[in-house]
């Protein structure tokens, strides 16, 4: 189908200083958990974006000097000439598809504890450094500031030699330049105090970087258009005055907001185009092009923001991860095929844990080099095997789509009327509606594949599977929450667990509304305990959430949500008992025990919701494992995240009838 001509505007070139972006699709710098540790993986990942139509592709934050090392988080670096070659590898791959390549030069200042380099952290003043690390910065003197500017210029020249088209001065978030911009910078010299003084370092860096490389490279500035405040009413006063001072100095403004958990907020907390209110003034004070992000997956939203003069370039990190081919799909009138980001931030855990990026929607991200996976291409089938998939959750659906694309004849049987398994159930919980996109994209794809058929309301048993006589059987029957309270804390069932007052999140998702007061025992530590507590509290019940962790939903630190979840839980009036385990269930009460002191107390509880761990539903698999060609995937294999289930289904489909390396199943750097 040809594209809607209204969207032509998205494919107009945009001049950025001495270079021209071929279209308005701009992949902003984003971390990948790769950096200088995994340069080949990184180059292949960035190439995929360019191949998919992103007119500009940037690499991740790139340290300019060992005095800014972010270990254990993986950054890129341009510390010396040794670093040039592997950046050039990425740049060449991006250029091969006609896209511009950008690099975000970075100095963390007080945000870096320098655990790897052991260099003294630097800052505008003597400040606590790193993330709760017991070290402080040296307050930079004039000589330090001169050195910083020299490092920046040297790194910019290396970036130019690597072939980059756009070089950033990174003045946002909580890093060094922003530490100078902050009102907290009350240095007594010309780099602190007044607004003009605080913005002096940024001005000098822009000017000196342009002087050094501005003949061939555009100089972009990443800048916070707000200083914080309420999400929908952020304070933009000072940023506006600063931007007015610097308005036409750089070639491009990449604008964001100060609060990172809002900028890259999950869909539970922030909607598409969430930065619009805080950034829409910027184009009014500069003639230079402006890029900003907003988890854009709708071409209509993109068009509106360009038309209304809010942005010139459609900035994206997550939408380009979930679908590296988003621009091509719009270009070809296939926007119904965009694999839309669900806003879960699983992609961010790679950076947080120092491991390669992964994505709930796109199982191929991060696997481009080490496994040779492509998000849009999959090898044709290796046999005429007919495949039966039992279970239509994320794992079963992904296996069906990918096997179908390979050309296999696939039958999928699902017990329930609705397909989607856990994503269908969980997307009905507060804040998780966008998660249904995992199901919807796959159903849309299956609709285009004549060789994939599915049966709803079909509970398949052992006999039926044997009777169906498929060549391969895939069991994707998922997992159920345990009722007995076993998990990380309890290695044996909790005494009293088998009373009717004990239920699980599955019961609530099936529509059970218990009586209060309720105790939610969360030993899972991801989102479920907090969300279930929210459902029950909103239904008017008295709710206590008890967890052995020291905060609610502690794993969501990695998805940049924990702070917001805890604020929500407390704001709703849910009683939070941290460092606490449920140790027994009685008649109308439970015993809570402090994991630190062993002190116990009885609290009233008409209902207990055990949110501890899950049991794979693998009976069918075990009944048939020795008799037919059968494999289990997804939560039925090992309960995990939705991303894990999708990956498992994809891997099964991709590896069927292929030679998989024995031993380590991927290439290593």
* Contact partner at residue 102 from ligand SF4, ligand ADP, none, CB < 5 to 8 Å by partner kind: none
Return d(Cα 588, Cα 663) in angstroms, integer.
53
Backbone angles phi, psi at 567, to 5 degrees: -60, -40
Which is nearer to ligand ADP, 167 or 346 (by Cβ)? 346
* Contact partner at residue 268 from ligand SF4, ligand ADP, none, CB < 5 to 8 Å by partner kind: none
Say if residue 517 is preceded by a cis peptide, omega within 30 of 0.
yes
Q: Is 628 in the site for ligand ADP (CB under 6 A)?
A: no
Which is nearer to ligand SF4, 224 or 361 (by Cβ)? 361
Q: Is 478 in the site for ligand ADP (CB under 6 A)?
A: yes
* Contact partner at residue 390 from ligand ADP, ligand SF4, none, CB < 5 to 8 Å by partner kind: ligand ADP
Smallest separation (angstroms) from ligand ADP to the CB of 631: 13
Is the separation of the CB atoms in 357 and 32 below 8 Å? Answer: yes
Phi-psi region of 553 (alpha: psi -120 to 50; beta: other; left: phi over 0): left
* Contact partner at residue 322 from ligand ADP, ligand SF4, none, CB < 5 to 8 Å by partner kind: ligand SF4
Longest CA–CA separation in the chain, Å: 83
Smallest separation (angstroms) from ligand ADP to the CB of 554: 22
What residues numbered 402-431 form the site for ligand ADP, per CB under 6 A? 413-416, 421-422
Which is nearer to ligand SF4, 547 or 641 (by Cβ)? 641
Per-residue buried b or exposed e for 568-589, using 16+ beta carbons within 10 Å of the residue's own CB: bbeeeebbbbbebbbbbbeeeb
User: Hey, what are 282's tokens?
Assistant: 């910027």
**545 pairs with which residues across the strands?**
520, 576
**Neighbour count for residue 379 (Cβ, 10 Å):** 14
Smallest separation (angstroms) from ligand ADP to the CB of 341: 19
Is the separation of the CB atoms in 366 and 374 below 8 Å? Answer: no
Return d(Cα 266, Cα 342) in angstroms, integer.
8
Is the separation of the CB atoms in 29 and 100 below 8 Å? Answer: no
Q: Among residues 393, 505, 516, 530, which is the contact residue for ligand ADP, using CB under 6 A?
A: 393
Smallest separation (angstroms) from ligand SF4 to the CB of 27: 12
Q: Is 297 in the site for ligand ADP (CB under 6 A)?
A: no
Is the separation of the CB atoms in 453 and 582 below 8 Å? Answer: no
* Contact partner at residue 201 from ligand ADP, ligand SF4, none, CB < 5 to 8 Å by partner kind: none
Q: Is 391 in the site for ligand ADP (CB under 6 A)?
A: yes
Q: Is 636 in the site for ligand ADP (CB under 6 A)?
A: yes
Smallest separation (angstroms) from ligand SF4 to the CB of 643: 6
Return d(Cα 456, Cα 153) in angstroms, integer.
62
Smallest separation (angstroms) from ligand ADP to the CB of 442: 11
- State yes or no: is 175 an active-site residue: yes
* Contact partner at residue 346 from ligand ADP, ligand SF4, none, CB < 5 to 8 Å by partner kind: ligand SF4
Q: Is 635 in the site for ligand ADP (CB under 6 A)?
A: yes
User: Hey, what are 389's tokens?
Assistant: 């998939």
Which is nearer to ligand ADP, 102 or 391 (by Cβ)? 391
Which is nearer to ligand SF4, 305 or 342 (by Cβ)? 342
Residue found under tokens 């890029």 = 291
Q: Among residues 477, 504, 547, 556, which is the contact residue for ligand ADP, using CB under 6 A?
A: 477
Smallest separation (angstroms) from ligand SF4 to the CB of 344: 4
Return d(Cα 134, Cα 451) in angstroms, integer.
60
Is the separation of the CB atoms in 408 and 417 below 8 Å? Answer: no
Q: Is 394 in the site for ligand ADP (CB under 6 A)?
A: yes
* Contact partner at residue 401 from ligand ADP, ligand SF4, none, CB < 5 to 8 Å by partner kind: none
Q: Is 388 in the site for ligand ADP (CB under 6 A)?
A: no
Q: Is 618 in the site for ligand ADP (CB under 6 A)?
A: no
Write out the residues near ligand SF4 by the rule CB under 6 A.
Answer: 318, 321-322, 341-347, 359-361
Is the separation of the CB atoms in 97 and 141 below 8 Å? Answer: no
Distant-in-sequence, close-in-space partners of 60: CB < 8 Å, separation ≥ 6: 29, 30, 31, 32, 34, 35, 42, 75, 76, 104
The three-class DSSP label of residue 60 is strand
Smallest separation (angstroms) from ligand SF4 to the CB of 366: 11
Q: In degrees, to the nearest 5, what angle opens at C-alpha 143 toward C-alphas 141 and 144?
A: 65
Smallest separation (angstroms) from ligand ADP to the CB of 398: 8
* Contact partner at residue 327 from ligand SF4, ligand ADP, none, CB < 5 to 8 Å by partner kind: none
Smallest separation (angstroms) from ligand SF4 to the CB of 348: 7
* Contact partner at residue 274 from ligand SF4, ligand ADP, none, CB < 5 to 8 Å by partner kind: none
Q: Is 33 in the site for ligand ADP (CB under 6 A)?
A: no
Cα of 461 vs its chain's centroid, Å: 38
Which is nearer to ligand ADP, 391 or 516 (by Cβ)? 391
Residue found under tokens 């605080």 = 198
Distant-in-sequence, close-in-space partners of 214: CB < 8 Å, separation ≥ 6: 17, 18, 251
Return d(Cα 448, Cα 456) in angstroms, integer.
18
Which is nearer to ligand ADP, 208 or 414 (by Cβ)? 414
Say which of 26, 170, 175, 408 is annotated catalytic.
175
Which is nearer to ligand SF4, 321 or 535 (by Cβ)? 321
Return d(Cα 520, Cα 546) in angstroms, integer.
6
Which is nearer to ligand ADP, 30 or 442 (by Cβ)? 442
Q: Is 593 in the site for ligand ADP (CB under 6 A)?
A: no
What residues numbered 434-463 form the site for ligand ADP, per CB under 6 A? 458-460
User: Hey, what are 97's tokens?
Assistant: 């598809």
What's 606's DSSP letter? S
Please name which of 209, 363, 136, 99 lies closest in space to residue 90, comparing C-alpha atoms. 99
Which is nearer to ligand ADP, 103 or 359 (by Cβ)? 359
Residues with active-site annotation: 175
Query: Contact positions toward ligand ADP, by CB under 6 A?
Result: 390-396, 413-416, 421-422, 458-460, 476-479, 617, 620, 634-636, 645
């Amino acid at each position: 189908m040809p594209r809607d001509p209204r969207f032509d505007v998205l494919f107009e070139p945009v001049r950025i200083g001495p270079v021209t972006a071929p279209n308005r699709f701009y992949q902003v710098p984003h971390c990948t958990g790769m950096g200088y540790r995994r340069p080949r993986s990184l180059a292949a990942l960035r190439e995929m974006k360019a191949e998919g139509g992103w007119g500009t592709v940037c690499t991740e934050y790139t340290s300019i000097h060992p005095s800014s090392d972010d270990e254990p988080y993986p950054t890129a670096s341009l510390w010396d000439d040794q670093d040039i070659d592997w950046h050039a590898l990425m740049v060449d791959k991006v250029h091969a598809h006609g896209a511009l390549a950008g690099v975000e030069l970075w100095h963390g200042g007080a945000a870096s504890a320098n655990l790897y380099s052991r260099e003294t952290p630097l800052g505008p003043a003597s400040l606590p450094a790193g993330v709760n690390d017991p070290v402080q910065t040296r307050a930079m003197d004039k000589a330090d500031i001169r050195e910083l500017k020299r490092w920046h210029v040297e790194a910019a020249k290396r970036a130019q030699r690597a072939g980059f088209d756009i070089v950033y001065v990174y003045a946002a978030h909580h890093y060094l330049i922003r530490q100078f911009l902050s009102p907290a910078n009350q240095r007594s010299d010309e780099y602190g105090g007044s607004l003009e003084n605080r913005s002096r370092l940024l001005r000098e860096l822009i000017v000196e970087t342009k002087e050094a490389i501005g003949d061939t490279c555009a100089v972009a500035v990443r800048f916070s258009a707000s200083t914080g405040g309420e999400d929908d009413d952020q304070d933009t006063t000072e940023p506006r005055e600063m931007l007015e001072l610097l308005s036409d100095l750089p070639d491009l403004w990449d604008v964001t907001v100060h609060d990172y958990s809002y900028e890259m907020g999950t869909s539970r907390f922030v909607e598409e185009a969430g930065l619009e209110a805080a950034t829409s003034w910027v184009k009014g004070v500069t003639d230079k092009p402006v890029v900003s992000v907003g988890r854009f997956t709708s071409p209509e939203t993109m068009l509106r923001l360009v038309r209304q003069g809010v942005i010139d370039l459609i900035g994206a990190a997550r939408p380009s991860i979930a679908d590296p081919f988003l621009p091509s799909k719009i270009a070809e009138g296939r926007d119904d095929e965009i694999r839309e980001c669900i806003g879960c931030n699983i992609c961010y855990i790679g950076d947080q844990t120092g491991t390669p990026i992964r994505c709930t929607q796109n199982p191929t991200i991060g696997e481009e080099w080490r496994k040779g996976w492509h998000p849009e291409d999959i090898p044709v089938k290796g046999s005429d095997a007919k495949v039966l998939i039992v279970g239509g959750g994320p794992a079963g659906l992904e296996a069906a789509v990918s096997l179908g694309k390979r050309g296999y004849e696939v039958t999928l049987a699902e017990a329930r009327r609705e397909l989607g398994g856990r994503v269908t159930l969980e997307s009905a919980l507060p804040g998780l509606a966008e998660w249904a996109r995992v199901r919807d994209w796959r159903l849309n794809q299956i609709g285009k594949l004549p060789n994939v058929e599915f049966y709803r309301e079909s509970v398949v048993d052992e006999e039926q599977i044997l009777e169906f006589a498929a060549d391969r059987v895939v069991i994707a029957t998922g997992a159920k929450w345990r009722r007995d309270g076993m998990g990380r804390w309890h290695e044996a069932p909790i005494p009293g667990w088998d009373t009717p007052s004990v239920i699980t999140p599955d019961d609530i998702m099936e529509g059970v509304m218990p009586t209060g007061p309720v105790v939610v025992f969360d030993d899972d530590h991801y989102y479920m305990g907090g969300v279930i507590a929210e459902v029950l509290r909103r239904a008017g019940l008295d709710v206590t959430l008890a967890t052995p962790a020291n905060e609610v939903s502690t794993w969501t630190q990695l998805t940049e949500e924990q702070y917001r979840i805890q604020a929500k839980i407390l704001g709703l009036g849910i009683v939070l008992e941290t460092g606490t385990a449920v140790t027994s269930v009685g008649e109308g009460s439970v015993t809570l025990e402090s994991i630190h002191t062993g002190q116990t107390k009885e609290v009233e509880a008409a209902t207990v919701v055990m949110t501890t761990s899950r049991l794979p539903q693998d009976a069918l698999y075990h009944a048939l494992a020795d008799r037919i060609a059968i494999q289990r995937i997804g939560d039925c294999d090992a309960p995990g995240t939705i991303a894990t289930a999708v990956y498992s289904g994809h891997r099964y489909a991709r590896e069927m009838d292929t030679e998989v390396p024995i031993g380590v199943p991927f290439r290593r750097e």
